[in-house]
Amino acid sequence: MTWFKSNKGPRAVLREEDKTVRTEGLFTKCESCRAIIWKKDLDANDRVCPKCGYHFKIGAHERLRMLFDEGAYETLDADLVSPDPLKFVDRQPYSEKLAAAQRATGLNDAVVNARGKLGGRATLISAMEYSFIGGSMGSVVGEMITLAIERALAERVPLIAVSASGGARMHEGVLSLIQMAKVSAALVRLDDAHIPFISVLTDPTTGGVTASYAMLGDLNIAEPGALIGFAGPRVIEQTIRQKLPKGFQRAEFLLQHGMLDAIVDRRSLRNYLIIAQSFFLA
């Protein structure tokens, strides 16, 4: 006789798919603190990690919805496209890379020009799309930022540029480089006309965008932890052949070195911009 006897018979075998709870698409991992976050919580928190405050990268339209009153705005200049002036080919033709980026993002290039209201005041915002070839600035980005500046001047409306960019776009050669000068030239006129221009630098903003309009705001403000610089950290590491200091080229590092006016949490960014604009415009 056995001391223990199962009289329940064989246990019902669970099917494979019933063994796991289906969480795919519901949760995400914080890239900084590795915490598991419910996606809805993250979205409700302007895509800032509720545990550690890490700011996730966001797209241009998501940015514009967060900033404008009621998330309402109209887009402008969306019909500008690059004609691939250099007929550039590396491992794949630039024209194909462009087409793929256009399909993936639904945009024609790496910036969205928009008009709407911010704190009840008519405002222009140009927001960059990092997922479009690294938010790089070619002729179209340069032209669109310039058009936004000229529109701000013509309509006497403040302009905000939200940057996220790896710099000038190689595939358009010096035509990309020269956009830095073009945009900066247009900013002279805005400056002379006393129309506010606020630059918001987000993760990452480097190269030709930092070395032109992103550093030329009446206020240059950044999101926490954003990588901001001229040369990329890898290039510097290769040049000086030593490890870079901790926190190098992060927003906090730039603030410490006097390069930024403020670091503003994304959740209070809208409010900060409204206050700044009312200071500038009575």
**Shortest CB 75 distance to other proteins, Å:** 14
When the beta carbons of 30 and 139 are compared against other proteins, the nearer one is 139
**Shortest CB 130 distance to other proteins, Å:** 16
Q: How many residues in the shown chain lie near other proteins by CB under 8 A?
A: 62
Q: Are strands 228-229 and 197-206 parallel, antiparallel or unpaired?
A: parallel
CB count in 10 Å sphere of residue 43: 13
Q: Which stretch binds other proteins (CB under 8 A): 9-17, 48-56, 88-96, 117-125?
A: 88-96
What is the distance between the alpha carbons of residues 97 and 105, in angstroms, rounded to a whole number? 12
CA atoms within 13 A on the CB side of 52: 13
Q: Which residues, 6+ apart, have CB-to-CB distance to 97 below 8 Å?
A: 133, 171
> Interface with other proteins includes 231 (CB under 8 A)?
yes
When the beta carbons of 89 and 275 are compared against other proteins, the nearer one is 89
Residue ranges in 132-171 that form contacts with other proteins under rule CB under 8 A: 139-140, 142-143, 146, 168-170
**246-255: b or e for each residue (b if 16 or more CB lie within 10 Å)?**
eeebbbebbb
Dihedrals phi, psi of 172, to nearest 5 degrees: -115, 15
What is the distance between the alpha carbons of residues 112 and 129, in angstroms, rounded to a whole number? 8
Q: Which residues, 6+ apart, have CB-to-CB distance to 50 below 8 Å?
A: 37, 41, 42
When the beta carbons of 37 and 209 are compared against other proteins, the nearer one is 209
Give me the 200-229 binding string for other proteins, x by CB under 8 A, dash otherwise.
-------xx-xxxxxxx-----------xx
When the beta carbons of 46 and 172 are compared against other proteins, the nearer one is 172
Residue ranges in 92-111 that form contacts with other proteins under rule CB under 8 A: 108
> Interface with other proteins includes 113 (CB under 8 A)?
no
Residue carrying the six token digits 């221009």: 197
Length of the chain, please? 282
- Residues near other proteins, by CB under 8 A: 79-83, 85-86, 88-91, 108, 139-140, 142-143, 146, 168-170, 172-182, 184-189, 191, 207-208, 210-216, 228-231, 235-236, 239-240, 244-245, 248-249, 257-259
